[in-house]
Amino acid sequence: MSGFDSNPFADPVDVNPFQDASVTQATSRPNDGTGDFNPFSTPDMGDQSATTIPISAATSQPAILQTSVDLSAQATAAAAQANLIKQQEELERKAAELDRKEQDLQNRNVGRATNTGAKENNWPPLPNFFPVRPCFYQDFEEEIPEDYRRICKRMYYLWMFHSATLFLNLLACLAYFTADAQSGVDFGLSILWFLLFTPVSFVCWYRPVYKAFRSDSSVSFFFFFFVFFFQVAVYIIQSVGIPRWGNSGWISSISMIRTNLAVAVVMMVVAGFFTVNAILAVILLKMIHSKYRNTGASFTKAQQEFSQGVLTNRSFQGAAASAATSAAQGAFGRNQGN
């Protein structure tokens, strides 16, 4: 009955679960080094150099390649733009230089022009007090294109050498006449050749080739080739030196060796000049022919230029108009008579 004597409403006995023997024993057991364990310490990590980290575990990094490509493209575009600006500046500078040269050329033309608007003749370069005025206008830098300027100047130098040779031929024939009284015909003809061939060669073959290079004229080219071919033949005849032809050539000079050695030497020098003239003429003729073929000139083009030049010539137009008027008046008179 003692069990029934207890008070059910009394406070129960305080039970502390941590006072259990097993719990107390576990908490009172000494730490076997686990309390000092640091999972992030170096000794405990060991050597992880050979450990492969999966791609999924790697930390994603921002894309650097796209940025570098953009910067490279921007640098290339900037360099190209700078190059274009530089080229534009160079073109503008050249255009300004060409405008300046053109203006200077126009100013020179205006300064050389007369009141009628034509260019003032400047060749031959005679002094102002001389009663004869220049007959031609010549300016290689202004009128002749750069591709043909050198060969045109060479033709001019050939003409000067040709004139000097004719003058030396006159002196050699004079010496020949002093040594041999029967050679007076050669001396007289040498004077004629000098006075005649010097201006005729300028007008007949130098001016045509000058005009041909100046205006790319097929008619001038054909006229030059026709005349200059005969000039080459004349050079060969002069270098040969046929007696009584007024030329101090090789035959005449050799025939004077036994008579007068000094005169023979002078005549041989002139014969050498004639030979050089012939050689240079052949070389320049071939060079001009090659230039002529590169210009695109032809016989058909020469015919067209000639016909256009004749039809636009004022003298020809005046003569044609006069002939047509006379024919019309004659026909009207015959009609009235009938």
State pLDDT tens for residues 77-115. Answer: 888 888 888 888 888 888 887 887 777 666 655 554 444
| pLDDT over 70 (residue 56) | no
Classify 252 as helix, strand or coil: helix
| pLDDT over 80 (residue 128) | yes
To the nearest 10°, report the CA torsion of 32, 33, 34, 40. -160
Domain layout of the chain by residue ranges:
144-305
Question: How large a percentage of the chain has pLDDT more than 70?
Answer: 62
| pLDDT over 80 (residue 25) | no
Please tell me the total number of residues recorded for the chain in this structure. 338
Q: pLDDT tens digits, residue range 281-332?
A: 999 999 999 888 876 655 565 556 555 554 444 554 565 456 556 655 665 5
| Least confident interval from 37-51, 81-95, 125-139, 215-229 | 37-51
Whole-angstrom Cα distance, residue 226 to residue 220?
10
Residue 134 gets which letter from DSSP? Answer: P
Whole-angstrom Cα distance, residue 231 to residue 163?
13
Whole-angstrom Cα distance, residue 103 to residue 109?
10
| Least confident interval from 3-12, 53-62, 71-80, 319-328 | 53-62
Provide the mean pLDDT of the chain.
Answer: 77
**Mean pLDDT calculated for residue range 66-81:** 71
To the nearest 10°, report the CA torsion of 184, 189, 194, 198. -170
pTM: 0.59
